[in-house]
């Protein structure tokens, strides 16, 4: 049975063109700064985002953590939205690696309130510590892959800068944001001091992320990457696939966004109120199932070859990617409908009526 993989866009596998580029890549020792394929990718990506320099890192998590350490000193405060990846999914690394304190703000749709950030920075005095970094995420994963509009991102960065703090962007899926909004990635890059993005999600490369910023920042980040064991030798092998990803896989993200829309509508038809398709802006569909047995529904879909991820007791996440075509989406909708109709809770409710 073909699997319809919707747990994450991290499941994407490299294209034949990526494998060929890997086989043909010109290589050197990147810890010595001599891998031509890595150098060329870093320069190319810096150019795309209008930044001075770039650094290839093994993962989005390492990119985030190396950036944090390069941009802060131990004891600093960092403002972040409370459901950001850096807050929820990096196992306390900001505290362990950088010794920073995350100051959290709940942001509807992943957006930090400009006023809340300004107030947090302004209230610093000799008694309260001063935030030195403001962290944004675009698209914002845990709010359902929502796009942070450029003007909002810029307004948050502006109050950070006015308060003497720097602005960072976790742009793991910045190309999804760009394709969905029509805003070039360069425009996002212009608003922040540094950013990271991933090759290994919707863009389909097997491994890797890019850190971008000033040359001074990248020099510091390179040392942190080494400290974390992320200095890799003939890394051009991976950079070659990443280059194919940025060169050929960006525009097709629109297809993933369309598929997410179709999926959201299908799920909303099967179970009205569980998802609002108007809130699906990119490749993620969050489905709310209060009162239903989420584990049972996920298992039932799994038996039909459809994989979605349970996000806690009442919610499911489905992420579209190049691994799933329209026929796969149709199968996912059918499997969801069947799972919900077969769910104990729905059956019990029907009996009660």
Nearer to ligand TLP, 64 or 261 (CB): 64
Nearer to ligand TLP, 286 or 336 (CB): 286
CA neighbor of 170 nearest in space, from 149, 140, 147, 191: 140
Q: How far apart are the first and last CA of the chain?
A: 37
Q: Whose CB is nearest to ligand TLP? A: 60
Nearer to ligand TLP, 121 or 134 (CB): 134
Nearer to ligand TLP, 6 or 270 (CB): 6
Nearer to ligand TLP, 141 or 181 (CB): 141
Q: Least CB distance from residue 353 to ligand TLP, whole Å?
A: 38
Three state DSSP letters for the chain: CCCEECCCHHHCCCCHHHHHHHHHCCCCCHHHCCCHHHHHHHHHHHHHHCCCEEEEECCHHHHHHHHHHHHCCCCCEEEEECCCHHHHCCCCHHHHHHCCEEEEECCHHHCCCHHHHHHHHHCCCCCCCCEEEEEEECCEHHHCCECCCHHHHHHHHHHHHHCCCEEEEECCCHHHHHHHHCCCHHHHHHHCCEEEEECCCCCCCCCCEEEEECHHHHHHHHHHHHHCCCCCCCCHHHHHHHHHHHHHCCCCHHHHHHHHHHHHHHHHHHCCCCCCHHHCCCCEEEEECCCCCHHHHHHHHHHCCEECEECCCCEEEEECCCCCCHHHHHHHHHHHHHHHHHCHHHHHHHHHC
Peptide bond into 39 cis (omega under 30): no
User: What phi and psi, each to the nearest 5 degrees, are found at residue 196?
Assistant: -125, 150
Q: Least CB distance from residue 56 to ligand TLP, whole Å?
A: 12
Q: Least CB distance from residue 344 to ligand TLP, whole Å?
A: 28
Q: Least CB distance from residue 281 to ligand TLP, whole Å?
A: 15
Cβ–Cβ < 8 Å for 69, 96 = no
Q: Least CB distance from residue 198 to ligand TLP, whole Å?
A: 5
Nearer to ligand TLP, 208 or 236 (CB): 208
Q: Least CB distance from residue 114 to ligand TLP, whole Å?
A: 21
Binding stretches for ligand TLP (CB under 6 A): 8, 10, 59-61, 64, 85, 89, 137, 141, 170, 172, 198, 200, 209
Nearer to ligand TLP, 135 or 217 (CB): 135
Q: Least CB distance from residue 9 to ligand TLP, whole Å?
A: 7
Nearer to ligand TLP, 85 or 243 (CB): 85
Nearer to ligand TLP, 170 or 191 (CB): 170
Q: Least CB distance from residue 76 to ligand TLP, whole Å?
A: 20
Q: Least CB distance from residue 348 to ligand TLP, whole Å?
A: 33
Q: Which residue(s) pair with 4 in the sheet?
A: 306
């Amino acid at each position: 049975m073909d699997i319809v993989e919707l747990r994450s866009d991290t499941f994407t596998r490299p294209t034949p063109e990526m494998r060929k580029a890997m086989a043909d890549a010109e290589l050197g020792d990147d810890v010595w700064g001599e891998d031509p394929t890595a150098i060329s990718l870093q320069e190319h990506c810096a150019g795309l985002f209008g930044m001075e320099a770039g650094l290839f890192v093994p993962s989005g998590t390492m990119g985030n953590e190396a950036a944090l350490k390069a941009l802060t000193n131990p004891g600093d405060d960092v403002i972040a939205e409370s459901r950001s990846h850096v807050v929820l999914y990096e196992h306390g690394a900001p505290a362990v690696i950088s010794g920073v304190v995350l100051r959290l703000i709940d942001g509807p749709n992943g957006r930090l309130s400009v006023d809340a950030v300004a107030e947090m920075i302004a209230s610093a005095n000799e008694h309260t510590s001063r935030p030195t970094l403001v962290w944004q995420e675009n698209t914002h994963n845990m709010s359902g892959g929502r796009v942070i509009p450029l003007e909002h991102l810029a307004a948050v960065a502006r109050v950070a800068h006015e308060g003497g703090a720097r602005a960072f962007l976790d742009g793991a899926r910045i190309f999804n944001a760009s394709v969905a909004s029509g805003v070039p990635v360069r425009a996002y890059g212009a608003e922040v001091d540094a950013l990271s993005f991933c090759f290994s999600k919707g863009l389909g490369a097997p491994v890797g992320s890019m850190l971008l910023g000033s040359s001074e920042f990248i020099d510091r980040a390179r040392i942190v990457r080494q400290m974390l064991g992320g200095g890799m030798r003939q890394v051009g092998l991976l950079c070659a696939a990443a280059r194919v990803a940025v060169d050929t896989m960006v525009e097709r993200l629109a297809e993933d966004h369309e598929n997410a829309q179709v999926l959201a509508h299908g799920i909303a038809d099967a179970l009205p109120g569980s998802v609002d398709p108007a809130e699906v802006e990119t490749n993620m569909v969050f489905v709310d199932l209060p009162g239903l047995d989420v584990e049972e529904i996920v298992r039932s879909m799994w038996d039909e070859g459809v994989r979605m991820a349970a996000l806690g007791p009442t919610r499911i996440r489905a992420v579209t990617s190049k691994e799933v075509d329209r026929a796969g989406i149709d199968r996912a909708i059918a499997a969801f409908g069947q799972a919900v109709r077969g769910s104990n809770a729905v059956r019990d409710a029907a009996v009660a009526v």
